[in-house]
């Protein structure tokens, strides 16, 4: 599976979150989670650190503001 296919597949997931606390696209969260696990991340804190540490790289691929 190619990188772009995985990103597109993650965008097809239904997002059932509600309210004004939704800050990021679900597809971005899923992709960061998958990448973190591949890099041996185990907790949400690992995922947060991974996202922050790789923000420059991920910014061109993911990390888009939540679409209204």
Of 3-7, 45-49, 60-64, minimum mean pLDDT range: 60-64
Which pair of structure tokens corresponds to residue 28?
Answer: 């971005």
| CA nearest to 63, candidates 26, 35, 37, 20 | 26
Stated pTM of the model: 0.73
Pick left, alpha or beta for residue 8 (phi over 0 → left; psi -120 to 50 → alpha; otherwise beta).
alpha
Could you read off the pLDDT of 19-52 as tens digits, one per residue? 887 888 888 889 899 999 999 999 999 999 999 9
Q: Residue 17 and residue 6: Cα distance in Å, rounded?
A: 21
Q: Residue 23 and residue 64: Cα distance in Å, rounded?
A: 10
Q: 24 has which bridge partners?
A: 65
């Amino acid at each position: 599976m190619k990188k772009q296919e995985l990103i597109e597949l993650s965008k097809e997931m239904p997002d059932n979150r509600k309210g004004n606390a939704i800050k990021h696209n679900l597809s971005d969260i899923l992709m960061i989670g998958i990448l973190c696990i591949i890099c041996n991340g185990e907790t949400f804190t690992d995922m947060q650190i991974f996202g922050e540490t790789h923000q420059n790289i991920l910014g061109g691929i993911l990390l888009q503001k939540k679409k209204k």
